[in-house]
Amino acid sequence: MLFLLTSPFPASAVPRADSIQFQRSIVDYRSQLNPRFKKIKRQKTQYIIVHTAELGGQTTLRVVSRGKRFRSGRGTHGGHAHYVIARNGRTYRILDKQYVADHAGISMWDGNTDISRLSIGIELVGYHYAPIADAQYRSLGLLLDILQDAYGLDDRAVLTHSQVAYGFPNRWHRKNHRGRKRCAKNFNRAKAGLGSTWRYDPDVRAGRLVADRQLAAVYYSPKNFVAEAEETNVISKQNTAWVIAGEDFDSTETVYKFPDGRIYTGDQIAASVGWDRLPAKTVVLLNQESSVEQLKDDGPVKTIADGVTAWSLAGRSYNRETTIYFLPSGRIKTGSAIDDWDDLPVQTQLIIGYKGPFELRKDQSAYRIAGKGYKDPQTIYYLPSRQLVRGDHIKDFTQLQLGTLVFIPDV
């Protein structure tokens, strides 16, 4: 009778009304596709590949539709996914699912190569080292159900990009190997309603590829390895540039932010620093095609920009009470008052690890509020003109308007 204890319905059964409603809610983004992208019909559909975009929502939509722009001036022709799922669950159709999307690159699964030509590609807005939102799992579950139904695919056909990507020999590996991509290694299959999966990597088992130790632990360890709690983009002994960035470790688009504020792109590390000498606590940011200049500002006031999200600036602190956001509209919000790091508009400024506001009044001077630190670079003044100014940049404190808001480090 034991079987009665399990659900009598297949795991993928979704109420039809939910499915129809979801399908209607998909935003048609196909008109934004780069006209230079060449549409080719897919002959066969064997897999569905889940990615994490390593970007915020607006930038993801642009990159997958229009293409990547490299600092060299070159770029790609877009069509890098069939669907994008934003942090709030909103789902976008980028390319009609009958065509080949250019999403998996050098890839192999079970002896099949060039997985793009055999698969649907879905991008989740976010990072492989940050939690995927519940709303994204909900939409992904509904989308997978529809696609698995349409192509007759079981749950084992749903894989992540980091599972199927492989690389050619490099300074880290002498043979063809897994680990080229880290994409979606934080993907929790159960949360997307998926059941059975691969217990091993078929290409490693067959000797076609060498395993990546860290990815093998995530995907095929008999223990239920919970990836998301341990993932970070911060360099440590275990968390090397290779573990965080895969093949992009030395890319011009990968930015290394040292604890002392220095910034390097991946292509500069070998000559300027050396790969064995990356300091611990260096932060690694992927896909920084045009935002290196913004990241160079290492003062206490950070700015959200194209490719630079609240998560890239604050990490897990993004939703703390002590992370304070100054929106372009003039509103001020603490991290605890925002839904998600991707909900903040470009040009929003933030300070991390602060308390306040304390208002300048006749009976409450800057000195009264901040003590001796009132003219420190770490003491931040928000002027009625909506400007954020560091204490050391204020020339004459007697000229500060009443109503100016003061923020002091929360130590």
Footprint on this chain of Zn ion (rule: CB under 5 A) = 51, 161, 183
Q: How far is CA 202 from the centre of its chain?
A: 28
| Bond from prior residue into 328 cis (ω within 30 degrees of 0) | no
Q: Which of 389, 406, 385 has its CA nearest to residue 301?
A: 389
- What is the C-alpha to C-alpha distance for residues 292 and 307, in angstroms, rounded to an integer? 10
Cβ distance to Zn ion smaller for residue 183 or 351: 183
Cβ distance to Zn ion smaller for residue 22 or 137: 137
Tell me how far CA of residue 321 lies from CA of 222, 305, 333, in angstroms: 38, 22, 9
Please report how close the Cβ of residue 181 comes to Zn ion at its closest, in angstroms. Answer: 6
Please report how close the Cβ of residue 61 comes to Zn ion at its closest, in angstroms. Answer: 15
Please report how close the Cβ of residue 248 comes to Zn ion at its closest, in angstroms. Answer: 11
Cβ distance to Zn ion smaller for residue 144 or 304: 144
Please report how close the Cβ of residue 211 comes to Zn ion at its closest, in angstroms. Answer: 19
Cβ distance to Zn ion smaller for residue 114 or 359: 114
- What is the C-alpha to C-alpha distance for residues 327 and 177, in angstroms, rounded to an integer? 45
- What is the C-alpha to C-alpha distance for residues 285 and 361, in angstroms, rounded to an integer? 41
| Helix (H) and strand (E) counts in the chain | 12, 19
Cβ distance to Zn ion smaller for residue 59 or 349: 59
Please report how close the Cβ of residue 273 comes to Zn ion at its closest, in angstroms. Answer: 27
Cβ distance to Zn ion smaller for residue 115 or 241: 115
Please report how close the Cβ of residue 71 comes to Zn ion at its closest, in angstroms. Answer: 21
User: What is the side-by-side order of every strand in the sheet holding 349-352?
Assistant: 302-303, 349-352, 323-326, 332-334
Q: Which of 283, 292, 293, 256 has its CA nearest to residue 352?
A: 283
Cβ distance to Zn ion smaller for residue 286 or 406: 286
Please report how close the Cβ of residue 285 comes to Zn ion at its closest, in angstroms. Answer: 16
Q: What is the DSSP string of 303-370?
A: E-BTTB-HHHHHGGGGGSTTEEEE-TTS-EEEGGG-S-GGGSPTT-EEEESEEEEEE-BTTB-HHHHH
